[in-house]
Chains A and B, each alone.
Chain A
Amino acid sequence: MCPVISPVMRPVIRKAGRSLLWLLLAVPAALMLAGLMRGTTPAMDLLHPSGELSVRLMLLALLPGPLAEFFGANRFLRGWLAIRRNLGVAAFAYAMLHLAFYVVDMGALAPMVDEFALPPIWTGWLALALMVPPAAVSFDAAMRALGRRWKALQRLVYAAFALGLVHWLLLDWHWQPAAVHLAPLVIAWALRRHSRGRGRNLARSTT
């Protein structure tokens, strides 16, 4: 099935694939912004879709790691892992867009400051703040420079994800969306834990 591709072409294809991925990731943002600019969609109606998409992209960035540990890195998961950083950066971009819509909707600083201390609001701010360091070091040079610490820094996304769900829950009071988004991750973690336990037992039995 896999055609023979000359090694010279491989980076070109990878680059084209990445561009296509980013084009795809930008489509919802373009639609949201077009609705806002044309005046057909008020900023308040864009808060939910942009925030939800950010959470979903975060989930997509968090899933392949534990899944690859359980299933082994097959071709599908390798491909998914390869775009994981892009998905994470896109999640941050949509969180920033979410903030932009919030600012447009509120229209002034004073009411934003006024409601900052409300739990449904500060959890959103904190979730966004926690996404800044992982997003800021999401390029190759930073990855190399930070070494092991890079991965530790990326773990902040877990906290951002959980806080994002809490933020959503406190605003909506609907348990289902939070549960639906949390469940895949919990399952993936459980699988990883299972495979790690298996690895440890194996190591113990061979020593």
Chain B
Amino acid sequence: MPIARLSLLALAPALALLAAPAAHADGNVRCNAGPQDKWKPLKQVHKQAFLEGWTVQKAQVEGDCYEVYARTESGQAIEAFFHPVTLQKLIVYRRGREIFRAPGFKPEG
């Protein structure tokens, strides 16, 4: 069956990708932010994103992090995690792939 074989052929590169270096599940980032009453208001993370030159689509609390969905100046869709107390940019993903990590930051906590 040529089409069945073709389907398998189409799958091969995709499956090979699974063997590629694994990224980190962005839903599991830990910021070690401590108690919430010490956190800066979420509004301030908008300002941080603005300073990066990003356009914010959505900013929210994710676990113990501030998470921002934004567009960079060149239009790239990104997802960034900020520390809720220091407002430091900790890690940035683009379509599931890590593109930035603050020196010394461990997303696993």
Contact = CB atoms under 8 A, between A and B. Distances in A.
A72 interface: no
A171 B94 CA distance: 9
Contact of A152 (B1, B11, B14, B27): B1
A110 B75 CA distance: 8
Interface residues of B, number: 32
Nearest to A168: B96
Interface string B21-33: 0111111000000
Contacts, number: 85
- Most central of A108, A118, A173, A174 by chain B CB within 10 Å: A173
Interface stretch (A90-98, A119-127, A197-205): A119-127
A155 B1 contact: yes
A44 B78 CA distance: 12
Contacts of B2: 152
Contact of A155 (B3, B57, B69, B97): B3
Interface residues of A, number: 31
For chain B, what secondary structure do more than half of its interface residues adopt (helix, strand, loop), or is it mixed?
mixed
A118 B99 CA distance: 13
Given A106-B77, A162-B14, A166-B18, A120 B95 contact: yes
B10 A130 contact: yes
Interface in A107-139: 108, 110-111, 114-115, 118-121, 123, 126, 130
Interface in A148-207: 152-153, 155-156, 158-159, 162-163, 166, 169-174
Given A115-B76, A166-B17, A173-B24, A120 B7 contact: no
A152 B25 contact: no
Contacts of A35: none
Contacts of B95: 115, 118, 120-121, 170-171
Contacts of A108: 75
A66 interface: no
A42 interface: yes
B22 A159 contact: no
Given A114-B76, A120-B97, A156 B3 contact: yes
Contacts of A123: 14, 17
B25 A173 contact: yes
6 contacts: A42-B58, A105-B77, A118-B97, A119-B20, A170-B95, A173-B22
Given A115-B95, A119-B17, A162-B15, 7 more contacts: A114-B75, A115-B76, A118-B94, A123-B14, A126-B14, A130-B7, A173-B23
Interface of B: 1-4, 6-8, 10-11, 14-15, 17-18, 20, 22-27, 57-58, 69, 71, 74-77, 94-97
